[in-house]
Amino acid sequence: MRLPKPEAVADNGAHRGYLIRLTAISTLGGLLFGYDTGVISGALLYMNDSFDMNAVEEASVVSSLLFPGAALGALAGGRLADRIGRRGTLLVCAVLFLIGALGCAFAPTVTFMIVARIILGLGVGAAAVTCPLYLAEMAPTHLRGRMVTINELMIVTGQMLAFAINALLDAVLDDPQVWRLMLGVASVPAIALLVGMLLLPESPRWYALRGRLDDTRRILDRSRSPQEAEREYQEIVDASTIARKERGQVWRDLKENPWMRRLLWTGIGLAIIQQATGINTVNYYAPTILEQSGLGVLASLVATIAVGVTSVIMTIVGIWLLGFVGRRRMLLIGFAGVAASQAILAVVFLLPPSDLVSYIILAAMMLFVAFVQCFIGTCVWLLLSEIFPMAIRGFAMGLAVFALWTVNAAISFLFPIVNENLGSTGTFTLFVAVNIVSLLFVRKFVPETKGHSLEDLETRFRTEGEAARV
């Protein structure tokens, strides 16, 4: 067995260090995504006292970040990522995060708060599109799954931090305006993202799409071994030659290429079924659900931290599993587990309210969250960053994430209304039915992408699509 030369080992270590720094900085967008969507669950308990909101105003404060904010941010972010680059778009996101966080912290009225939440949502939506794209295009093939899913880990870490900071501030500060600090904390990672992205390069594939092949090779040399860089450079050159002819003709390409339309619809379907799990009913309303089941405010906030911890731990487990298990199998296991755990929730809500029932509900929520984050959350964002061809990647990702945030907003807005009319048992029974349909969708339409470069996947989908037309 021939041992690698010492300089080759050192070179590989330098490449890995570079990729680790790049991942840590760029996924601050995911951290902010998680924090800004999670923090509202605790802030609402105090914001109601400050603004004396009715049910519609409360729902608007929660859902305005999602729609129109994140939905429009996703649409704009996809096109912006194609036009000014992945790095440039993340810089724009950092500015939006900073303005939105400060606006929420100092909001004097409900209307001002809603506007600030929309600005935050624009950043969340654009970052949700761009972070996975940037990581997928920067990562070597064998590290792509784990690098992209680090963004999902940062999202759930942001949500856990939001739950923990909410509980800490509630315990330390006896102030009805404490919600302002809860929301304002997000400005700190926003500044870190802004500074950090100024130090990172653009995606090599975006450079190739612009014909800047020297820059493509330069970035690949910084993050790959010489052999990896040479092989991937040739693949990117071949794919970008085709993509440059198609670039700017997205609607024409979709009309003329059924295989592209199929991938677009598959991506949109994946985005919809991820949200149709109902995961954000827990992220946004867990403290409220637990308080209504019998726990006090502080106990509900502290208990919600367990949901956040579960998300983080199971996302780490999911990232590890991706090294061994295919994407499709992960999704199939996830949707089966989600349907089962929601069936348990539906039954438990039939029991009379008590502290014991509250903790059983919390345990069922944690099981539900475990299946979503381990098997579904890790895979959906990864697949969305992998399946679209280079010429329409930003645009298609934007449409898929637009659908994701639209469904997220609809579920978040309707959940209290549906829950009031159907009851918790009826509501979670409805989610069970939806997730069974989602499982069938995965079995029929979702391709396996593990172990293939982005260019290999594009060639495969193109060839299969053209063969099907013959």
Give residue 161's domain range: 12-200+248-469
Residue 248: name the closest of 369, 66, 391 by CA. Answer: 391
- In-domain check, residue 222: no
Q: What is the mean pLDDT of residues 172-194?
A: 92
Q: Does residue 233 lie within any of the structural domains?
A: no
Please provide the average confidence, as pLDDT, over all residues in the chain.
87
Q: What is the number of other CB atoms lying within 10 angstroms of the CB of residue 356?
A: 10
pLDDT at 6 over 80: no
Query: What type of residue sits at position 12?
Result: N
The string of pLDDT tens digits covering residues 340-390 is 999 998 898 888 877 788 888 888 888 999 999 999 988 998 999 999 998
Q: Which residue has the higher pLDDT, 51 or 119?
A: 119
87 against 12, higher pLDDT: 87
* Residue 7 covered by a domain: no
Q: Is a pLDDT exceeding 90 seen at residue 183? A: yes
Burial 406-444 (b: 16+ CB within 10 A, else e): bbbbebbbebbebbeeeebeebbbebbebbeebbebbee
Stronger pLDDT, 331 or 280, i.e. the higher one: 331
5 falls in which pLDDT band (50, 70, 90)? very low
Among 271, 283, 218, 228, CA closest to 404: 271
- pLDDT given at position 105: 95
User: Span 259-264, mean pLDDT?
Assistant: 93
163 neighbors 60 (Cβ within 8 angstroms)? no
| Interval 307-351: pLDDT, tens | 878 888 999 999 999 888 999 999 999 999 999 999 998 898 888
Instruction: Please report, for the domain that includes residue 44, its CATH number.
Output: 1.20.1250.20
So what's the pLDDT on residue 444? 93
Residue 115 lies in a domain: yes
Quick: pLDDT tens for 209-232: 889 999 999 999 988 888 888 999
CA dist 322 → 31, 126, 269, 331, 468 (Å): 21, 25, 21, 11, 30
Which of helix, strand or coil describes residue 199? Answer: coil
Task: Report the pLDDT value the prediction gives residue 9, as an integer from 0 to 100.
Answer: 36
Report how far apart the first and last C-alpha atoms of the chain are (Å, whole number).
49
Number of domains comprising the chain:
1
> Considering the domain boundaries, does residue 209 fall inside one?
no
pLDDT surpasses 80 at 17:
yes
With respect to residue 449, please indicate whether it lies within any of the assigned structural domains: yes
Q: Is residue 458 part of a domain?
A: yes
Element (DSSP H or E) covering residue 55: helix 55-64
Rounded to two decimals, the pTM is 0.80
Which segment of 78-82, 109-113, 178-182, 277-281 scores lowest on mean pLDDT? 277-281
